[in-house]
């Protein structure tokens, strides 16, 4: 009876720890989402103060990754989790790596934004990058929601959304190329647009990765190299 | 006595499993190294057959990641490793993610190589990309060596080498931009060169990541966001 009580206590305490980890990932994710939004805003508005704030705050993202990683290692060592608890810890270890890389891309966008702020602004004010950036920010938000609710349907929607983001990205690349060829004086500026579009597109890839970890977490299946159709099939099984 | 024997047996069996995992990572790394070399070769020689072989073989890289990932999860669940054994498993989980992404970049280079093979070849035969590619292939080789010997000095050298790779990459980017501006008919081809250089540079980043996991594995310290100087200090402690 006494032993059972201790067992329950440990399990209860363990659940608190797992919830704590989950919350810290969501907190880190919220910070990263804010970094994306601010990086895009600083770029579109030519706001170098905001861009510098994004660059500064990337350290917080990095610190969050190191701290959560450490906690995961401690949980693995002390709690020796099994089954879905173990999958949660492994999924968290992978998720924070992608979150940290998303943070790096946001920082990169902010740095390029500072460079662009010194140049003459185009008439459309980088409208196409704003759209692409808002698209990926929504994807990121949905990914974190899917993680919070361990919702595999939502995670699958994120993977599908990445296709549509890629198409939008391809459109920007084609358009930038056309502008360059029509007017070679535009080459440098269009290259900057291309690099920023690329950074945003990479964020979409990372969000998709996180969606895949959520599916792994729930279904215990690695779907990383699976087509969307097969993934949908998988979720119905 | 009997119990002790069993204990030794389990521990012995566990060591075999850990060695097995280590070997499978090295095998996967060897495959990825070959993919890099072949991707660069196919590009430089305009060999579309070889490029197609690289694209085909990326499936093997993906399959290796899924299989090793699965083995790591099983080891975590069955063996409940602690201390350095646990760090090895966590380092392997992270390492294979980067190896798989390197494989993706090699595939991307091969795909762009096929596109370039249809176009007129430049006089220098993409010499600068060949150099950059050979540079990153050496880095990759050294990284795998460092992993095989869990040699943190060698891992630190990989991190340093990434700086020199980045400089070489920056040079190619500046040169390509100059060519574009001088002769706008070169825009498309120079953009291709830039994207390929970028893919090679990304491989260097992943190799550096793996070097950092090796340092974590040996020292139990996450050095991901540490400067090279601080890293060196760390290794002397």
Distance CA(A91)–CA(A111), nearest Å, equals 30
Q: Is A130 exposed, middle or buried (0-12, 13-18, 19+ CB in 10 A)?
A: middle
For residue A46, the model assigns a pLDDT of: 93
CA A237 to chain CA centroid, Å, is 28
The helix-helix angle for A127-148 and A152-182 (nearest 10°) equals 170
ipTM: 0.85
Closest by CA to A195, choosing from A110, A68, A117, is: A110
Looking at 1.20.58.220, 3.40.1310.30, 1.20.1080.10, 3.20.20.105, the CATH number of the domain B3-236 comes to 1.20.58.220
Strand positions, DSSP E, chain B: none
Distance CA(B49)–CA(B43), nearest Å, equals 11
Residue-wise pLDDT tens digits, B43-52 = 999 999 999 9
Mean pLDDT, to the nearest integer, of A157-177?
Answer: 94
Residue-wise pLDDT tens digits, A107-133 = 999 999 998 888 877 777 789 999 999
**Structure-block tokens of residue A178:** 């056309």
Q: Residue A90 and residue B73: Cβ atoms within 8 Å? A: yes
Q: Domain extents for chain B?
A: 3-236
Q: Residue B225 and residue A66: Cβ atoms within 8 Å? A: yes
Chain B contact for A86, CB < 8 A? yes
Q: Residue B181 and residue A177: Cβ atoms within 8 Å? A: no
Cβ atoms B75, B5 nearer than 8 A = no
Residue-wise pLDDT tens digits, A36-50 = 999 999 999 999 999
Q: Which residues contact B71 (CB under 8 A, 6 or more apart)?
A: B20, B21, B24
Q: Locate tokens 């190619």: which residue?
A: B172
- Chain A nearest-CA residue for B88: A73
Return the ∠ at Cα A24 (arms to A19 and A26), rounded to 5°: 95
For residue B10, the model assigns a pLDDT of: 65
- Chain B nearest-CA residue for A70: B222
Q: How many CB atoms lie within 10 A of CB B132?
A: 23
Distance CA(B72)–CA(B90), nearest Å, equals 8
- Chain B nearest-CA residue for A188: B177
Residues recorded for chain A = 237
Q: In this complex, which of A59, A86, A180 lies closest to B76 when CB atoms are compared? A: A86
Distance CA(B91)–CA(B223), nearest Å, equals 13
Return the ∠ at Cα A97 (arms to A93 and A98), rounded to 5°: 120
For residue A5, the model assigns a pLDDT of: 46
Chain A contact for B225, CB < 8 A? yes
Q: In this complex, which of B65, B90, B225 lies closest to A73 when CB atoms are compared? A: B90
Instruction: Supply the Cα-derived Rg of chain A in whole angstroms.
Output: 21
Distance CA(A127)–CA(A105), nearest Å, equals 19
Cβ atoms A188, A201 nearer than 8 A = no
Cβ atoms A143, A158 nearer than 8 A = yes
For residue A6, the model assigns a pLDDT of: 46
Residue-wise pLDDT tens digits, A38-90 = 999 999 999 999 999 999 999 999 999 999 999 999 999 888 888 889 999 99
Residue-wise pLDDT tens digits, A171-220 = 999 999 999 999 999 999 999 999 999 999 999 999 999 999 999 999 88
For residue A236, the model assigns a pLDDT of: 72
Cβ atoms A165, A131 nearer than 8 A = no
Q: In this complex, which of B66, B73, B187 lies closest to A86 when CB atoms are compared? A: B73
């Amino acid at each position: 009876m006494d032993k059972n009580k201790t067992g329950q206590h440990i399990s209860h305490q363990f659940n608190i720890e797992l919830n704590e980890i989950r919350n810290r990932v969501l907190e880190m994710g919220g910070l990263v989402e804010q970094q994306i939004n601010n990086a895009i805003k600083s770029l579109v508005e030519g706001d170098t103060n905001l861009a510098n704030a994004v660059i500064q705050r990337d350290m917080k993202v990095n610190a969050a990754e190191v701290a959560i990683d450490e906690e995961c290692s401690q949980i693995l060592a002390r709690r020796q989790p099994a089954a879905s608890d173990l999958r949660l810890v492994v999924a968290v270890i992978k998720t924070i790596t992608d979150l940290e890389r998303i943070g790096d891309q946001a920082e990169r966008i902010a740095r390029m934004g500072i460079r662009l702020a010194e140049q003459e602004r185009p008439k459309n004010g980088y409208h196409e990058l704003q759209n692409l950036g808002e698209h990926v920010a929504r994807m990121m938000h949905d990914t974190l929601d899917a993680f919070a609710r361990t919702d595999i349907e939502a995670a699958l929607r994120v993977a599908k959304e990445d296709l549509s983001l890629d198409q939008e990205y391809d459109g920007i690349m084609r358009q930038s190329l056309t502008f360059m060829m029509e007017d070679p004086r535009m080459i440098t500026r269009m290259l900057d647009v291309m690099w920023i579009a690329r950074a945003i597109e990479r964020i979409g890839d990372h969000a998709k990765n996180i969606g895949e970890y959520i599916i792994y977490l729930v279904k215990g299946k690695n779907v990383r190299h699976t087509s969307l159709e097969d993934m949908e099939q998988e979720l119905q099984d």
